[in-house]
Amino acid sequence: MRQENLRNIAIIAHVDHGKTTLVDKLLRATDAFRANQQVEERVLDSNDQERERGITILAKNISIEYKDVKINVIDTPGHADFGGEVERVLKMADGALLLVDAFEGPMPQTRFVLRHAIDAGLSIMIVVNKIDRPGADPEKAYNDCLDLMADLGATDEQLEFAMEHVVYASAMNGFARLDPSDDNDNMYPLLDMIVEDMPAPEVDPDGPLAMQCVTIDHSEYVGRIGIGRIYSGTIHDGDKILVVKNDGSRANATVKQLFTFDYLGRKECGEVGAGDIAAVVGIDRTDIGDVYTDPENPVELEPIEIDPPTLAIVFEASTSPLVGREGDIVGARQLKERLMTEAENNVTMRIEELPDKSGVEVAGRGILHLSVLMESMRREGFEFQVGRPRVLIKKDENGNRIEPIEQAVVECPGEYSGKVIELFGNASGTMTNMEQGETICHIEFKIPTRGIMGLKNRILNVTHGEGVFYHTFLEYGPFAGELGVRNNGAMISMTTEKAVAYALGTLQERGQLFVGPGDECYEGMLVGERSKPGDMVVNIARTKQLGNQRSSTADIAVQLTPPRTFTLEEALEYIMDDELVEVTPKSVRMRKRILNAIERKKANVRAGLVNK
C-alpha cells in the first residue's frame, strides 16, 4: 500500500544550479523558521568548505510539512567527485526534482546524477531555475532535459511524467510558476505539485522489518549512526534486530536510539513506520548496504554497490626544512591515526597504509574529492606532504590494461575552439560533439583521467580566461599509452633563505615566479616555472653587489610581476612524479622529492634519466 502522508524526494542538478538555495526557500515557505530567527543563506551547506567553495559535498536529509504531508527532501551533491553519495541516497527516494539553469541547460554532471535517478526508476519532475537570469531560455532548457532523459534510456512512463510536470522558478527570488509569464511570487505551486503528483512510498506496513543503511553519520558519543529508508514493517526503540552485511554475514543488535528527520534537525522518537527515513543508533560498526531486519522473518534486499575510486594519492609526514613552523600536528603516527579515522567515516574512500610504512595511500573519485580531505586536515592543524595523484589502472577479462575515461565539456568563444581541440588532442582526448552557438562554442570530449590533470589552467590560458571546463567520470576504457607531461622546466631554489626582490627581478625574465619578496624558501623548493624545458637551480637570495661608486640607476626600483599562486587542487595537478606538495595550515608549497641538487642528479643517473 502507499503511505499517502509521506513523500520522499531527491533534488538533483549540476553544481551551482541552485539546489541548496531552492531547499532554503522551501523551508521558508513551510514556516520552518521562527519569524524573528536569523538564518544564513544556503542553510544546508553547513560545512565551512561547502560555504566557501559554493558546492554541496555531503548529501543531507531534511523534512518539511505541507498540507499534512511530510516531505523528506534529500539535497545531493552536484559534483561528480562526490557521486558515491548520490548513488546511495537515491535509493531512499520515490521521485526527484531535476533542477536545471534556464541559461545553461543540462550540464555534464546533470547527466551523471540523472542517469542514476533513471536507473533507480524515480519519477522525475523538471524545475527550470533562474528564469529571471539575463539570456535565459526556459523552453530550450526544458526541451534539452527531455532529450537528455531520452538519451539516458528513460522509460516512456518517466518521460510522460516529466513532460506533464514542469515548474519554472527563481530560487534566489523565492517563486515557482507553472508558466514563465505568470506573476506568482511564492513557492506553493511547486509544493502543490510535489504533494499532489509525486508518488507516495509503496510499502508493506504490516510486514517484517526491512531497512537498508545508505548513509553513515558519526558522533563522538555514540559512534556510527545508520541512516536509511524503511521498506516494510516498523522499527521501535529497543528492538532486537538482525543486521545482514553486504557479504552475507549476520549479527544481532539492539536499537539504542531512534530518530526521524524534522525540518533541519532530527527528532528522537519511539517508532518509525514504513516509508519514512530513520537514523538508528546502536549498531556496532554498521556499514553502507547493511540491512536491518526481523530476526525471525529476515528480508533480503539488493546489496549496494559503491563505484570504485579512480585516483590515489600518498600522504607522508612532512620532511620540509620549515616543518613545524605553521602546523601543530606533524608526526607520522598522528597523520596515520587521522586518516584511519577518516576510513571509518568515509566509505567512498579507500585508505591503506603502504607496505613499507612510509605513508598512507588514499584513493578517491577525483582530485576535488581528495583535496577536500586535505583541506579539512590542514584546518585541523596538520602539516604533511603528498605526491602526484596516480590513476588506478585495472585489467579487463582478457588481461588488457584499462583506465578511467572522463567526459569533458568546454564552452568558449568560437575563435578559441581550435586551440582547445589541439590541447585535448595532445592529451589523448577525442572530440565527440561540437555545437557552435551565436558566440559560444560547446565542445564535448572523451579523455583519459590522466590527461585531465593540469588541463584546466592550459584551457584558461588559450581561451584568455573565457573558457568554462567541466568533466565527469564516464567509464573504464582501453589504456591510452604514455601521455605528454609538463613541457616547461621548474626553477628550484638552491638555498634556504627569504626571497630577495633583486634576485627575483632577473629571474622573472626567465619565466613565471611562484614566490614574492620576503617569502620563506628552502633548498629544493619550486619557486617558478621556466619558459623552456629542463629544470634550473636558481639563487633567490642574490643581492646587488655594492661598490663605493654611485650608479646612475640606483634609484630605479625593481618592477616585479605578481607571483602565480596555486590552490591545493592546482598544485596537485601541476607537480611531476619526482615532486611533492607540502600542505600546512597557512601555505601550499611545491618541492622536489630530493631537496639537494647533487643528490637529485645522482638519483637521475641511477634511474637512467640523464647521462653521467
Q: Which residues fall in the annotated binding site for GTP?
A: 16-21, 129-132
Sheet strands (E) in 374-429: 384-386, 390-391, 394-395, 401-413
Q: Return the bridge partners of 384, or none.
A: 317, 583
Secondary element (H or E) of residue 7: strand 6-13
SS (H, E, C) 44-57: CCCCHHHHHHCCCC
How many CB atoms sit inside 10 A of residue 439's CB? Answer: 9
Sheet strands (E) in 87-222: 95-101, 123-129, 166-170, 175-177, 210-219
Spatial CA neighbour of 241 closest among 225, 229, 257, 255:
255
b/e string for 495-512 if b means 16 or more Cβ within 10 A? ebbebbeebbbebbebbe
Distance, in Å, from the CA atom of 9 to the CA atom of 570, rounded to the nearest integer, reads 36
What are the C-alpha distances in Å from 427 to residues 108, 484, 569?
20, 7, 19
b/e string for 162-183 if b means 16 or more Cβ within 10 A? beebbbbbbbbebbbbeeeeee
Take residue 18 and report the three cell numbers written for it: 541552485
Distance, in Å, from the CA atom of 463 to the CA atom of 508, rounded to the nearest integer, reads 24
Distance, in Å, from the CA atom of 71 to the CA atom of 64, rounded to the nearest integer, reads 5
**What's the DSSP call for residue 593?**
S
CB 99 within 8 A of CB 107: no
Distance, in Å, from the CA atom of 569 to the CA atom of 372, rounded to the nearest integer, reads 9
Burial class of residue 475 in the structure, from the number of CB atoms within 10 Å of its CB (0-12 exposed, 13-18 middle, 19+ buried): exposed
CB 258 within 8 A of CB 272: yes
Q: Residues forming the annotated binding site?
A: 16-21, 129-132
